[in-house]
Amino acid sequence: MNHYGDELTLRLSGIGDTRSLDDDAALTRFMRELVDRIGMTVLAGPLVGTEAGPPERAGKSAVVILAESHAAIHTYPHLREIFVDIFSCKPFREADVLDEFHRLVGDYEITERTLTRRGEEWPRDLTAARRLWSSQRVPG
């Protein structure tokens, strides 16, 4: 790999079955199964939080800190939507991610999708990385 890692962001709309989108236990299980399926190592989490408010803003957020980086989702049951962000320095298959969401909610439509190669200028040499970090650091 000639870059640091890949970041997959998705917006899933028209969610077929929204019941699990407002269920802490279901989302905790899902996040564990998702990162296991894509071969990542959990360092912390899953952590699930609730966003209260009007229906267009109410939902759940779930995040897992990974040895390889992170995975996060934001659910909006009333809007039948999920936002997804998976960033990893270890390669993963997008098809596995999509399959896990099908298992969670059934049918959905991908209304936004971005796969970004992150860190293409990331130095492989630790000495060079330290120099780069030091040169860009704002004195505090």
The reported pTM is 0.79
| Cα angle: 24, vertex 26, 27; to 5 degrees | 65
Per-residue model confidence as pLDDT tens digits over 84-107: 999 888 888 899 999 999 999 999
Strands (E), the chain: 5-13, 42-51, 59-66, 69-76, 81-88, 109-118
**For position 73, which CATH number holds?**
3.60.90.10
Question: What's the structural domain count of the chain?
Answer: 1
Which residues form the domain of 124?
5-136
Per-residue model confidence as pLDDT tens digits over 33-91: 999 998 888 889 899 999 988 888 899 999 999 887 889 999 999 999 999 999 888 88
50 has which bridge partners? 60
